[in-house]
Amino acid sequence: MNFPKSRLSRLRKNKEIRALIQENTVGVNDLITPIFVTEGLNKKVAIKSMPNYFCFSIDLLLKEIFECTSLGLNCFLLFAKIPESLKDNSGLEACNPKGLMQRSIKKIKSVFPNIILMSDVALDPYSIFGQDGIVKDNQIDNDITIDVLSEMALSHVDSGVDFVAPSDMMDGRVKSIRTILEKNKYFKTGIMSYSAKYASSFYGPFRDALDSSPTSNMDKRSYQINPSNSKIAMLEAKQDILEGADIIMIKPGMPYLDILNMISKEYNVPVAVYQVSGEYSMIYSAHIKGWLNLDDVIIESCIAFKRAGATLISTYFSKKIAKLISEKKFYL
């Protein structure tokens, strides 16, 4: 209407002007790096459906973390691959003070006291059914599960973790975890709750990594959110905040930017988004085929998370992103 007085492309004329007015960018402090640990020594196990991503034994994981910290990455989200022989339907191993998760936390925090270490709290890596909770008559028993999850969370915190990250989607688990932490005087331990976690098919490669796929007779739709719905995600977030969550998370990332945007506008807590394994694998495999430019797509996806309202981004691309940040590639 105001043309030629207003030419909106004036502010896109060159890189410098675009940088001057760019609204969103990404810094290393915005990133959470997921890490996978397995039993053994000197092990670096490739994950078949996550090209160039690995599950490490504790000794090599320490080296990996060191490499990440030298790139400026300082926040890690730990997952453990539990041997088949230790899985059951009780969550016993999940609470074992000498379990793989607990030993890893102790070791990592003793070597890197200043990193922020977060741990996944859910039963699926420990479950013979690949379910996040305890199964009774083909259903998850919510209330028994949250008691076990709280014990599990406490054992992680006893081992030295800075944040627990319940990813199970049981009702009332944040309240239950917050209560047990308060009771044990862990007043300053954080809870990053997976509040809006959808029943997504984009988690497939992660389940390959931990060998934690649900058994065929039961999926996770009775507790993770229906991908068709958005209002319920608001309620989930609200409840978790009221129950004591410090950071809330939306997951997956790119297919759920609307949810991320809605929640980050509504609530005044830091909001994390998880660019999940399936998103990683789609982008990475297209790169291997030569169909997409890896760096450019990673940058664009991260900027999109920021634009939608994310404070934090959990992503398997974090090392790559840290390098791109240091090369100032995030100005488009």
Sites of contact with ligand PBG (CB under 6 A): 120, 122, 124, 132, 167-168, 203, 206-207, 220, 276-277
Given the residues 87, 220, 251, 306, the one annotated as active site? 251
Cβ proximity to ligand PBG: between 24 and 285 the closer is: 285
Closest CB 13 distance from ligand PBG, rounded Å = 40
Closest CB 69 distance from ligand PBG, rounded Å = 22
Write the DSSP string, 96-122: -TTSHHHHHHHHHHHH-TTSEEEEEE-
Cβ proximity to ligand PBG: between 178 and 251 the closer is: 251
- What are the DSSP E strand ranges found in the chain? 31-38, 44-46, 54-57, 75-80, 116-121, 135-136, 139-140, 163-166, 190-197, 247-251, 271-275, 312-315
Q: Which residue number has the CB closest to ligand PBG?
A: 206
Round to whole Å and give the CA distance between 160 and 182: 15
Tokens (6 digits) for 98: 């000498």
Cβ proximity to ligand PBG: between 57 and 277 the closer is: 277
Cβ proximity to ligand PBG: between 30 and 168 the closer is: 168
Closest CB 26 distance from ligand PBG, rounded Å = 19
Tokens (6 digits) for 280: 């990683």
- What are the DSSP E strand ranges found in 168-268? 190-197, 247-251
Bridge-based pairing of strands 75-80 and 163-166 is: unpaired
Round to whole Å and give the CA distance between 120 and 152: 10
Cβ proximity to ligand PBG: between 22 and 52 the closer is: 52
Using alpha carbons, select from 64, 62, 40 the residue that is nearest to residue 112: 62
Closest CB 83 distance from ligand PBG, rounded Å = 17
Cβ proximity to ligand PBG: between 141 and 329 the closer is: 141
In the residue annotation, 320 being an active-site residue is answered as no
Closest CB 261 distance from ligand PBG, rounded Å = 21
In the residue annotation, 265 being an active-site residue is answered as no
Number of H helices, E strands in the chain: 11, 12
Closest CB 121 distance from ligand PBG, rounded Å = 8
Given the residues 81, 197, 220, 306, the one annotated as active site? 197
The H-assigned helical ranges of 11-170 are 15-21, 58-70, 100-111, 142-159
Round to whole Å and give the CA distance between 16 and 7: 18
Which residues are catalytically annotated?
197, 251
